[in-house]
Homo-oligomer: A and B are copies of this chain.
Amino acid sequence: MAGVNKVILLGNLGADPEVKYLEGDNVVANLRLATTESYKDRNGNKVEQTEWHDLELWGGQAKIAEQYLKKGSQIYVEGKIKSDTWQDDQGQNRKRIKIRVLSFTMLGGRSDSMGNEGGNPTQQSQPTSKPAAQSAAATSSGPDLSPAGDDDDLPF
């Protein structure tokens, strides 16, 4: 009991967010995030290695993602590992891992999509007045302000 399951990622989106509005006022966004690491191999050649992560955001954070993120966006993410298990059509047990995002922060984007004045680096800033939006902004210094929906009990 009493565990810690924490993931910290910083990378770029490989595609625009995929957002689904569900019954009961629920929203979920799925993101594909690339984290690339480069190192030199034994011959001194630079090697790049990219890992792709499936991110899942719920509620207000999903809406913020839909509104401000797009292919190429650079974000910092905190979350946890969550596995889905199911049976495939052959009746085989399958497992898939996703990162359940608890907070994220937009980084130094070129902001062309945010319509913000000036074109400077932006965050998911000033997401108007929605409480959920506030939460995502607040998370910049820690996931402590996360609103309902961030908990792990499934949102439906």
Contacts and interface: CB of A to CB of B under 8 A. Distances in A.
State the copy count for this chain. Answer: 4
Interface residues of A, number: 71
Interface in A1-47: 1-12, 34-42, 44, 46-47
Interface string A131-150: 00010011011111110001
Contact of A38 (B1, B96, B102): B1
Nearest to A83: B51
A70 interface: no
A48 to B, nearest CB: 7
Contact of A42 (B3, B11, B38, B153): B153
Contact of A140 (B37, B41, B151): B37
